[in-house]
C-alpha cells in the first residue's frame, strides 16, 4: 500500500508539468490564430529580427535554466538525504511548488517556440503583439516561481529543517489529541461506572 501511495504521488507530481505543457502547446496554436482573425491590427512595432532574437533567447535560456536549476536542486536533495532522514527530504520533494515550477518553465519554453513560428508568417513581416505580451507574462511568472523554488530549497538548512519538523510534529499532535481544556466525554465515564457483566454458554 505504501508503494502504491508513493507511485501515486510521483504520478500526480508529473501530471502538473504535463498539464502546463499541454496548455502551452494549445495556446501556442490558438492564441496567434485568434490574434490574426479578431485583432489583425494588433501588431508589434519591433522588427522581425528582433522578435526572432527575443523568442530564441527566451526559449534557449529557459530550457538551459530549467536543466541547471533542477539538476542542482535534486543533487542538493540527494546529499541532504544523507544528513537528515529520507522522510524529511521526501516532504520537501512533495512540495507542489517544485511541480508548478517545472510546469511554468516548460510552458514558457514551448510557448516561445510556438510563437516564434508566427513571426513573419508567410513573409508578411508582421510580429503579433499578443504573442509578445503572453510570453513576457510567462517570463515574469517564471522568475516568480524561480524565487519561490529557491525559498523552498532553503528549507534544507539545519535550522529550517528543525523548525519544519517541529511544526509538522505539533500539527500531528494537535490533530490526534484534544486540548487539555476539552472536557471528558460523559459516555466514557458512564461506561466505567457500569457493572461488569459476562455471559457464559456451556454445552454438554
DSSP state of 195: P
Is residue 140 scored above 60 in pLDDT?
A: yes
Per-residue pLDDT band at 117 (split at 50, 70, 90): confident
Is residue 137 scored above 90 in pLDDT?
A: yes
Cα 142 to Cα 10, 65, 106: the distances in Å are: 23, 10, 10
Please provide residue 126's backbone torsions phi and psi, each rounded to the nearest 5 degrees. -100, 145
What average pLDDT is seen over the chain?
76
Is residue 6 scored above 80 in pLDDT?
A: no
Per-residue pLDDT band at 2 (split at 50, 70, 90): very low
- Max Cα-Cα span within the chain: 104
What residue segments make up the domains of the chain, in order of their start? 16-183
User: Who's near 115: CB < 8 A, 6+ residues apart?
Assistant: 28, 32, 55, 128, 131, 132, 134, 135
For residue range 32-77, list pLDDT tens digits in order: 788 777 877 777 778 888 888 888 898 888 888 888 777 777 776 6
- Cell representation of residue 192: 466505567
pTM over 0.85: no
Is residue 186 scored above 60 in pLDDT?
A: no
Higher pLDDT, 160 or 5: 160
Using alpha carbons, select from 33, 10, 23, 21 the residue that is nearest to residue 118. Answer: 33
Cβ neighbour number for residue 133 with a 10 Å cutoff: 14
Per-residue pLDDT band at 12 (split at 50, 70, 90): low
Amino acid at each position: 500500500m505504501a508503494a502504491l501511495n508513493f507511485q501515486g504521488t510521483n504520478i500526480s507530481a508529473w501530471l502538473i508539468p504535463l498539464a502546463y505543457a499541454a496548455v502551452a502547446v494549445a495556446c501556442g496554436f490558438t492564441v496567434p490564430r485568434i490574434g490574426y482573425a479578431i485583432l489583425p491590427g494588433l501588431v508589434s512595432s519591433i522588427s522581425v529580427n528582433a522578435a526572432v532574437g527575443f523568442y530564441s533567447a527566451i526559449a534557449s535560456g529557459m530550457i538551459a535554466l530549467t536543466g541547471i536549476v533542477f539538476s542542482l536542486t535534486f543533487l542538493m536533495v540527494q546529499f541532504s538525504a544523507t544528513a537528515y532522514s529520507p522522510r524529511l527530504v521526501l516532504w520537501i520533494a512533495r512540495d507542489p511548488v517544485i511541480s508548478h515550477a517545472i510546469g511554468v518553465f516548460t510552458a514558457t519554453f514551448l510557448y516561445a517556440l510556438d510563437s516564434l513560428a508566427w513571426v513573419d508568417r508567410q513573409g508578411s513581416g508582421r510580429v503579433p503583439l499578443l504573442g509578445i505580451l503572453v510570453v513576457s507574462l510567462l517570463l515574469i511568472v517564471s522568475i516568480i516561481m524561480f524565487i519561490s523554488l529557491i525559498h523552498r530549497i532553503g528549507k534544507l538548512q539545519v535550522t529550517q529543517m528543525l523548525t519544519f519538523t517541529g511544526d509538522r510534529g505539533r500539527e500531528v499532535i494537535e490533530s490526534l489529541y484534544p486540548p487539555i481544556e476539552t472536557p471528558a466525554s460523559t459516555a466514557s465515564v458512564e461506561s466505567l461506572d457500569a457493572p461488569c457483566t459476562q455471559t457464559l454458554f456451556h454445552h454438554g
